[in-house]
Amino acid sequence: MKKITAFFTACALALLGGNLHADDHTSDGNIVGFVYSFNVTDPGAVVGALTDYWNSPVGKKNPATAILRQHVANGTDPSTHSIAVVYDSLAQIDETNAMNNGTKEMQAFLAKMSAAATLTSEAMFIGTGITSGNDDIVPAPGRYTSATSVAVSDPAAYVAAWQAFTGASASDRGATNLFATNGNGQDATTHVVTISANSMEDLLTPNPDAPEALATFLSDVKDIRTIENRAIYVDLMVFGNN
């Protein structure tokens, strides 16, 4: 296993299918992946399951990056942790699925996870490439992220409003990403906005320029956006082979 301390917000094939570093991208310049949320009863066993898989012969060939997060605040959502699995391309997803399929390593991972946690939700995310802020804020233990899930009826207008807002209020203490979502079941979410920082203080201390820009943004999107969920989480461990 390699811990990636510099590299992605925004949370296995039944498990091992952000905001990521700008160098991690799909063929069109954006990353893609899955977020699996769990109600974890044995956190140590989850860490052990991930560590054992990524140390295994199959895990050492996996091109993805997996980020284990603890949920700090997420309202009535019963999940306590999530795993984000990030790929550079859709082709990598197919490659990884074929590589994991039927292996003893994947079967062992799924068995350990089933004993330690209950899956509560799963979704696919696709990076839009719309980012702002400090590119050096990347997935690493101790990085905090706020994720706002929204249902957008006019994506073009929403993107324009979001870019105007982040352009006027971006701070070196934070990094923002806009993701499109898919495979949400009955969840109405179409996009997730993430803001990440290297501490809770940096994440939640407002930029002095933000209030006026935020008021304009909220006015611009009030008829085209509905907030579905808000959550804050912290990165615990990052696994990968890059």
Q: Is residue 222 one of the residues assigned to a domain?
A: yes
Q: What b/e sequence results for 193-218 when a residue is b if at least 16 CB atoms lie within 10 Å of its CB, and e otherwise?
A: bbbbbbeeebbeeebeebeebeeebe
Estimate to the nearest angstrom the gap between the alpha carbon of 9 and the chain centroid.
5
Q: Is residue 211 one of the residues assigned to a domain?
A: yes
Specify burial of residue 18 (Cβ count, 10 A radius: 0-12, 13-18, 19+). Answer: buried
Q: Is the pTM of this model over 0.75?
A: yes
* Tens-level pLDDT at each residue, the chain (242 residues): 333 222 222 333 323 333 333 233 333 448 999 999 999 999 999 999 999 999 999 999 999 999 999 999 998 899 999 999 999 999 999 999 999 999 999 999 999 999 999 999 999 999 999 999 998 999 999 999 999 999 999 999 999 999 999 888 878 889 999 999 988 888 899 999 999 999 999 999 877 778 888 899 999 999 999 999 999 999 999 999 97
User: How far, CA to CA in Å, does 63 sit from each of 32, 76, 88, 229?
Assistant: 13, 34, 8, 30
Q: Is residue 8 one of the residues assigned to a domain?
A: no
Which domain range does residue 53 map to?
Answer: 32-240
Query: What single-letter amino acid sits at 237?
Result: M
Q: Is residue 48 one of the residues assigned to a domain?
A: yes
Q: How many domains does the chain have?
A: 1
> How many whole angstroms separate alpha carbon 52 and alpha carbon 48?
6
Residue 195's CATH number: 3.30.70.100
